[in-house]
């Protein structure tokens, strides 16, 4: 006589062996607590499959419809929880940051976009900013390097102000050397010039210098003009009329 309460009896097999009219008599003879299943009359639920010992849950990455005798593997690359009941339960693993989910699996985000882990789409960079393919955060979006004469700010490229200059890609502007001036948007130190000299002075590499005696200069001069022969002038003279006979 069967004594193990965990033993299982196939009800359909009993009917075949003893006949339906003796089924009840047989059933009353079984020990209490004996598990019974009817392989033919009770198909397994969706997410399970039939074995010789009864219905078993489908394992992970497989699924089954109701009444299945086996579990169907998920399509390549897709995963499912144990007990899944439909192919729709098979999903690709969440994408890594910098990728996004498509019907065929994870794809890398294109340039000028980014994504966090598990994204189903890529987010465009803010206006005017650029990013490399596969960027994973908005911090990967950067403005294009600035042209010479401009500098980078949080809101993009800005023109350097007067008396400063910058090379391409600069994050700040460089002041002109002391005493030199430049126009806004200057791109090189050579664009920094001393202010034009006043009349009576002339320009040198180190700035304006006063014209010596017996010479004169107009405003903006790069050199001093000698007085006519025999005439003299004081230092800093600004016009030929300042040249006098002694």
Q: Give the count of beta carbons closer than 10 Å to the beta carbon of residue 230.
A: 9
**Residues 17-36: what's their mean pLDDT?**
55
The 10s digit of each residue's pLDDT in 180-229 is: 999 999 999 999 999 999 999 999 988 899 999 999 999 999 999 999 99
**Residues 91-110: what's their mean pLDDT?**
94
Per-residue pLDDT at 205:
87
Q: How confident is the model at residue 2 (pLDDT cuts 50, 70, 90)?
A: very low
The 10s digit of each residue's pLDDT in 61-95 is: 999 999 999 999 999 989 999 999 999 999 999 99
Residue 1, pLDDT > 50, answer: no
Answer with the residue of higher pLDDT: 94 or 22.
94
The 10s digit of each residue's pLDDT in 134-188 is: 999 999 999 999 999 999 998 899 999 999 999 999 999 999 999 899 999 999 9
What does the DSSP assignment read for the chain? ----TT-EEEHHHHHHHH-GGGHHHHHHHSPTT-EEE-TTTSPPPTTEEEETTEEEE--TTEE--TT-SSPEEPPTTEE--TTB-SGGG-EEPPPPTTEEEETTEEEE--TTEE--TT-SSPEEPPTTEE--TT--SGGG-EEPPPPTTEEEETTEEEE--TTEE--TT-SSPEEPPTTEE--TT--SGGG-EEPPPPTTEEEETTEEEE--TTEE--TT-SSPEEPPTTEE--TTB-SGGG-EE-
The 10s digit of each residue's pLDDT in 31-69 is: 665 545 454 547 999 999 999 999 999 999 999 999 999
Residue 6, pLDDT > 70, answer: no
């Amino acid at each position: 006589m069967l004594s193990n309460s965990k033993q299982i009896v196939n009800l359909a097999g009993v009917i075949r062996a003893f006949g339906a009219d003796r089924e009840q008599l047989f059933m009353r003879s079984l020990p209490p607590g004996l598990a019974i299943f009817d392989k033919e009359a009770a198909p397994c639920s969706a997410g399970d499959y039939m074995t010789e010992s009864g219905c078993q849950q489908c394992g992970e990455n497989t699924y089954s419809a109701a009444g299945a005798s086996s579990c169907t593997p998920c399509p390549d690359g897709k995963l499912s929880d144990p007990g899944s009941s439909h192919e729709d339960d098979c999903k690709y693993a969440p994408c890594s940051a910098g990728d996004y989910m498509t019907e065929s699996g994870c794809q890398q985000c294109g340039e000028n976009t980014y994504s966090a882990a598990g994204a189903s789409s890529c987010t465009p960079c803010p206006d005017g900013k650029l990013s490399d393919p596969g960027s994973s955060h908005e911090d990967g979006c950067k403005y294009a390097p600035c042209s010479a004469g401009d500098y980078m700010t949080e809101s993009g490229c800005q023109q350097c102000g007067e008396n400063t200059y910058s090379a391409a890609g600069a994050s700040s502007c460089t002041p002109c050397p002391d005493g030199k001036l430049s126009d806004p948007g200057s791109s090189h130190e050579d664009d920094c010039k001393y202010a034009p000299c006043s009349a009576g002075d002339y320009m040198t590499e180190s700035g304006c210098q006063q014209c010596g005696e017996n010479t004169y200069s107009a405003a903006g001069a790069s050199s001093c003009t000698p007085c006519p022969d025999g005439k003299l002038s004081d230092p800093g003279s600004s016009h030929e009329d300042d040249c006098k006979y002694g």
